[in-house]
Structure 1
Amino acid sequence: MAADEKAKAKTEQATGKVKQAAGSALGNERLEAKGHADEAKGHAREAKEDIKDELKGKGKDERP
């Protein structure tokens, strides 16, 4: 399940970056802001999963 959540986090981050770029290119501030929000949501989800891994004893140095 954690891998699924981490993949979802990376997808949200990538989607956010695409929306930011599209909003910037089109001059659409709302789309650009939505991209920032999506990217931040992805970072928050990734941080949550990292904390869960730390609590389980699977620190970044110990992952395969």
Structure 2
Amino acid sequence: MGKSGMQMGKGKVEETLGKATGNERMKAEGKAEQAEGKVRESADKARDAMKRRSH
């Protein structure tokens, strides 16, 4: 699991804790963390695809 996977996992935990405790800010931060992880994952995939095309 790379940084993006860890980031998405951390975000999911944070979102779940926010839901469980009624903490809307924590819930929102968790969702944002997950989104950031997904963006990072997409960027990593694009970079890998470009590397494969150039070789």
When the two structures are superposed, what TM-score results if normalisation uses the length of structure 2? 0.91
Partner of 1:31 in structure 2? 26
Higher helix share: 2
Q: Which runs of 5+ in 2 are unaligned?
A: none
Q: Which runs of 4+ in 1 moved over 6 A?
A: none
Q: How does 1:1-64 map to 2 (within 5 A)?
A: 7-57=2-52
When the two structures are superposed, what TM-score results if normalisation uses the length of structure 1? 0.78
Q: C-alpha separation between the residues in 2 aligned to 1:22 and 1:40?
A: 17
RMSD (Å) for aligned C-alpha atoms: 1.3
Partner of 1:61 in structure 2? none
Q: C-alpha separation between the residues in 2 aligned to 1:16 and 1:39?
A: 5
Determine helix, strand or coil for the equivalent of 1:57.
Answer: helix
Matched-pair identity in %: 36
Q: Which runs of 5+ in 1 are unaligned?
A: 1-5, 59-64
